[in-house]
Amino acid sequence: MDIDAVRTFVAVADAGQFREAALGLDVTQQAVSKRVAALEKDLAARLFTRTARGVQLTVDGQVFLPHARELLQAEERAAASVRPGRRALRVDVIGRRLAPADLVRDFHRSHPDAALDVVTLFDADAAISAVRSGTIDASFRAVTLPTRQLPEGIEAARVHDEPLELLAGPRHALAAARAVTPAQLAGHRIWMPGNVAGTEWAAFYDDLAAAFGFTIEVTGPDFGTEPLLDTIADSSLLATFVGVQTRMVWPADHDLRRIPVRDPTPVYPHSLVWRTDNPHPALASLRAHLGTVRPDADTWTPKWAQ
């Protein structure tokens, strides 16, 4: 449907005259007539009848008018979603069931008038590139580079430390533990097929395993969360790591256990990444809302996050 024809129809309906609508649209009266005629042909319905004072909506025109207004509003929202200076704040959260999504939801609850578009990019390189180009406004990432080595004009601040838990099935040797230490995991197999080499999360877990002497296994294809949970539930040897804020649901008969890891507690260091010259007003509000993290002495993070 020709959106200009719809806009012209609404203008004529509001003005009651083709001439007044033409003046408001800054087009000729002939152009208005042609657009309305084309729209009526497209709809196979007559929208106006002529009167001595101008035009009047037909019954079909009256029915179509509120829908036409909705179309114009939808067009404006669509344009605003990509228009510089007017679009919603675009934030990358890695995954919609992970801690950064919770942080964004909490921000939205505190700032309900701030328009947000939430996206998910693959890794830190893709996210930083998108921030640099202005495609997105901010990203939650574990930044493996020292701040001084980030691209010019890009800044990052550590805003949230998420403790890890061990996820194990009922037959696992540690299933009955109320908590475990990283040292107790030495010799155990931690299965994480989603750890893609070169990503920031793979770097985090590789450093964690090296620091405490256990094995991160990435063997086999990554079929997603449900097959991972099925395997863990049936295994006496395999466990996996999840963040405390990671949302997971499994069948009751899986009887999976989320076991805290302590002394020290490994924490995944979420940083907010943004471009220093980004003027979006909601970005400043997001940064102020998040603040920065002061690392706890009882936690562990890789050296690159310190």
How do residues 163-180 score in pLDDT, each as one tens digit? 999 999 999 999 999 999
Tens-digit pLDDT string for the chain (306 aa):
899 999 999 999 999 999 999 998 989 999 999 999 999 999 999 999 998 888 999 999 999 999 999 999 898 878 877 776 678 899 999 888 899 999 999 999 999 999 999 999 988 999 999 999 989 999 999 998 776 688 999 999 999 999 999 999 999 999 999 999 999 999 999 999 989 888 999 999 999 999 999 989 998 888 888 999 999 999 999 999 999 999 888 999 999 999 999 999 999 999 999 999 999 999 999 999 999 988 788 999 999 987
Cα 26 to Cα 12: distance, rounded to the nearest angstrom? 13
With beta carbons less than 8 A apart as the criterion, state whether 18 and 53 touch.
no
Give the pLDDT score at 147.
Answer: 65
Kindly provide the residue ranges of all beta strands, DSSP E only, lying in 11-75, ordered along the sequence: 48-51, 54-57
Question: Of 115, 117, 120, 114, which is closest to residue 93 (Cα–Cα)?
Answer: 120
Residue type, 202: A
The number of helices, as runs of H, and strands, as runs of E, in the chain is 9, 12
Which one, of 76, 101, 99, 97, lies nearest residue 86 by Cα? 76
Q: Quick one: pLDDT at residue 200?
A: 93
Q: Which residue has the tokens 């406004």?
A: 137
Give the model's pLDDT for residue 273: 96
Domains of the chain by start residue, with CATH:
3-80 (1.10.10.10), 89-160+269-299 (3.40.190.10), 163-266 (3.40.190.10)
The whole-angstrom separation of Cα 288 and Cα 280 is 13
Go through 65-88 and write b for each residue having 16 or more CB atoms within 10 A of its CB, e for each that does not. Answer: beebeebeeeeeeeeeeeeeeeeb
